[in-house]
Amino acid sequence: MTFTLSPPPALRLLPGMTGELAWTEDRGRGDLTVPADAVVADDGGVPTVFVFDPATSTVSRRPIDVGPCGGPDRLVVRGGLAELEGLRPLGMELEPIYGQNEIVVASIGQFVVNLLQSLAIVIGLLLLFMGWRSGLLIGFSLLLTLLATFIGMFLMGVTLQKVSLGALILALGMLVDNAIVVVDGMLVRMARGEGPEEAACSVAAATQWPLLGATAVAILAFASIGLAPGNVGEFCRSLFQVMALSLFLSWVVALTAVPLLGVLFLAGPSASADGDPHDGSFLRLYRRCVQACLRRPRLLAGIVVVSLLGALAAFRNVPQSFFPPTTQPYFSLNIWKPQGTAIEETDRTVASVEAFLRDLPGVRNVASFVGEGALRYVLNYNYESPNSSYGQILVEVDEPIEKVIADAEAHLRRTLPDVEFSLVRVMTGPSRAYSLEIRLRGPDASLLKSLARRCEVLLRRHDDARDIGTDWRQPLFVLRPLLAEDRGRRCGVGRREVASALQWNFGGTSVGLYREGDKLIPIVARPVEAERLSAEEIGNVQVWSDSQGGYLPLRQVVSSVETVWEDPLIRRRDGERTITVQANSVRGLAEPLRREIAPDVGALELPPGYSLEWGGEYLSSKEAREPLGRIFPLCLAGMMLLLIGLFDSIRRALIVFLTAPLSVIGVVVAFLLTGQAFGFMAILGFLGLSGMLIKNAIVLIDQIEIERAEGKSIGEALADASVSRLRPVVMAAGTTILGMIPLVKDPLYSGMALTVMGGLLVGTFLTLVVVPVLYRLFFGDETRG
């Protein structure tokens, strides 16, 4: 037979297996034989056959050989199920229901394609606007930085996965910033008559510390992501590691390889063929615009402040979310029968729904679980605890998943009105059956349920709310026999005998254990179905009496059987009774629904000793943001100290810092135009975006100081410096913006991409005008002594 190899483990090799070993890719084949007395284990990441030789009392090791094709270190056997056919009971079929290995391989492959697309876009933009020589030079420096980054990632143990690859795509446009500044400075100096070597040395010496400071600020902007404690830092740490490594290497390459290659490639008659690079119709128009703004700096500053305040006010209209669903063709259907339903009845309901789904067009595969959720087949799977009234169906589709979900939901509402259900797609982040939760805490169960019903009424008033209920679910109708103590004593029957009799008749009694391997299975004895009494005949249940030496009917020792409603599920948090009102949003966005009902929920009068708090997606998002909120102020303080040390001036550092909020205008406009939800990854993008804008402002302020050092007036220095840095700043922003285009299609990174693209587009052009205006407002017309 053939054993198929693929990266993730799926089946352990068993002694006695023989056959041909094959790769999932076309890498060749090899022979595999596992001796019957062998042990197959992992040896340093390589599947190895260990064989004990009794004659010599030695153990030989033989790594699994795949022939001349070679292969990665971690090889595992995915196939081989045919060898177990003899152990499979008749009627049982083994089918995979979730191939995460295939999903991961496809996802990483698509991300590599996105990375190559971004690389092509960045290099194409450089060739188009910087000229073929400069573009090739900067493009080569980008490739050199990427290769060095891959080496650094290998040494640091950072693997290629969606977060690290996304960081590379995010960094692509930023990795050329330093090289663009150096190349543009060389072109300007060479156009003014300097030699290539002199221009390279002068530019490298003049820009090394400002570029290092700007790079350090950009790294600090991402530091809060990687240094945040808890799950956020663990999930996003590789993003910070890749960004920090690649940005630092881009500075090293820009000050070493780029000047050297610039001397070789930029030298010659063509270097100054176009004259002064700062003399052009567009640059002259930009100069006049800057000069006009400098004549009315307070007016422009007022317009920017009003625009910023308007953007902050409009941000409330941007839909909010935590993490979006993935594009994986899977969804899970959670089914709840009324609480207390026998598992056999739940099984019948789940089987009927499963049969419908199998015949539904677009459904490829269906797997059902009754009584509890499936084993954790993906990290963010939301496991449901054992419950006889619960069932779950995992569905794989090959058509648009939204249509299949809509058809399934319509069928359930039409045919199973007594069933509660929720349809949940595989999420890119934490997964929840209910995205909106209201938690009520207090000592009295009846009062908690009354408050919960009031919250349910508020939710039912909104058309966007669905799947409304509580985690205490429905109360149960309970029969409670009341033991007549005097009769019981005369008959020799107590509470223990009554409880044992009821357990034996209705549920069965454990009489032993059956050992199967390392599992202990209880042996339960109970009457055959024909002899079991129903609840209506509870008085005829036979109770053993030691004093009588026989059985008595239950009605002889009980005074009555009362019927009561009882809560089968009473949840507690921190030892305190807590009932959670749950719901989902029809639109799939829980935060807008929460904001709509928050005033009404907050107006509920709670008795002393009772509290209300929000859970669900809101709490998950809050807990994810809190670590960032603790770390980011420290990063801001570090940026401020760097800027003060770089410019030896608090005023210049403040000018640079004041440019960061300008991106809010572009971010809000981008999300309002696209209608996309602002989520957690967008927050991470905004943190990095602040570093990008500060980096551009540092380059511009540094050039202003250079111009002023040459003895120019402050107005002339501001205009000349703005024109001088226009092309590097715009090119740096343009490569970053266009390089993010492939990420717009990815569910995980689309919010981050939109944040960076919109914020950087508007923020960059505002920076080119606002920084000179702020400089004029902060320094007036003072001259440098």
DSSP single-letter state for residue 76: E
Q: Based on the fold, state whether residues 697 and 782 are members of the same structural domain.
A: yes
Q: Based on the fold, state whether residues 437 and 485 are members of the same structural domain.
A: no
Q: What is the pLDDT of residue 749?
A: 85
Name the E strands within 500-602.
509-516, 519-525, 542-545, 550-553, 558-566, 572-573, 576-585
Name the E strands within 710-760.
none
- Other residues' Cβ atoms within 10 Å of the Cβ of residue 563: 9
pTM of the model: 0.74
> Is residue 694 in a domain?
yes
Whether 459 and 468 have beta carbons less than 8 Å apart is answered as: yes
Q: Which of 47, 76, 94 is the last residue of a domain?
A: 94
Q: What are the tokens at 442? A: 């207090």
107 three-state secondary structure: helix
51 three-state secondary structure: strand
Question: What range does the domain containing 514 cover?
Answer: 476-566
> Is residue 548 in a domain?
yes
- If one compares 279 and 564, the residue with the highest pLDDT of the two is 564
Q: Based on the fold, state whether residues 529 and 540 are members of the same structural domain.
A: yes
Q: Based on the fold, state whether residues 462 and 486 are members of the same structural domain.
A: no
Is residue 21 predicted with pLDDT exceeding 90? no
Q: In total, how many domains does the chain have?
A: 5
Q: Based on the fold, state whether residues 130 and 263 are members of the same structural domain.
A: yes
> Is residue 627 in a domain?
no
Residue-wise pLDDT for 725-735, tens only, equals 888 888 888 88
Q: What is the pLDDT of residue 561?
A: 84
> Is residue 284 in a domain?
yes
Name the percent of the chain lying above pLDDT 90.
25
Q: Based on the fold, state whether residues 487 and 457 are members of the same structural domain.
A: no
109 three-state secondary structure: helix
Whether 649 and 465 have beta carbons less than 8 Å apart is answered as: no
Q: What is the pLDDT of residue 54?
A: 53
Block residue for tokens 């299609």: 745
> What's the Cα-to-Cα distance from 737 to each of 207, 383, 752, 762, rounded to whole Å?
24, 40, 11, 11
Contacts of 737 (CB under 8 A, 6+ apart): 173, 756, 757, 760, 761
> Is residue 41 in a domain?
yes
- Exposure of 767 by Cβ count < 10 A (0-12 exposed, 13-18 middle, 19+ buried)? buried
Least confident interval from 133-142, 428-437, 463-472, 519-528: 428-437
> Is residue 110 in a domain?
no
CA dihedral 182, 187, 188, 189 (to 10 degrees): 90
Q: Which of 47, 75, 94 is the last residue of a domain?
A: 94
> Is residue 410 in a domain?
yes
Q: Based on the fold, state whether residues 263 and 137 are members of the same structural domain.
A: yes
The CATH number assigned to the domain holding 707 equals 1.20.1640.10
Residue 48: pLDDT band with limits 50, 70, 90: low
Q: Based on the fold, state whether residues 665 and 783 are members of the same structural domain.
A: yes
Q: Based on the fold, state whether residues 411 and 369 are members of the same structural domain.
A: yes
Q: Based on the fold, state whether residues 284 and 273 are members of the same structural domain.
A: no
Residue-wise pLDDT for 611-620, tens only, equals 999 998 898 8
Whether 80 and 11 have beta carbons less than 8 Å apart is answered as: yes
SS3 readout for 365-422: EEEEEECCCCCCCCCCCCCCCCCCCEEEEEEEECCCHHHHHHHHHHHHHHHCCCCEEE
Find how far residue 717's CA is from the centre of its chain. 46
Q: Based on the fold, state whether residues 684 and 762 are members of the same structural domain.
A: yes
Residue-wise pLDDT for 507-541, tens only, equals 788 888 998 888 888 898 888 777 676 777 788 88
> Is residue 119 in a domain?
no
Q: Averaged over 352-375, what is the pLDDT?
A: 90
Q: Averaged over 703-712, what is the pLDDT?
A: 88
Q: What is the mean pLDDT of the chain?
A: 82
Q: Based on the fold, state whether residues 707 and 785 are members of the same structural domain.
A: yes
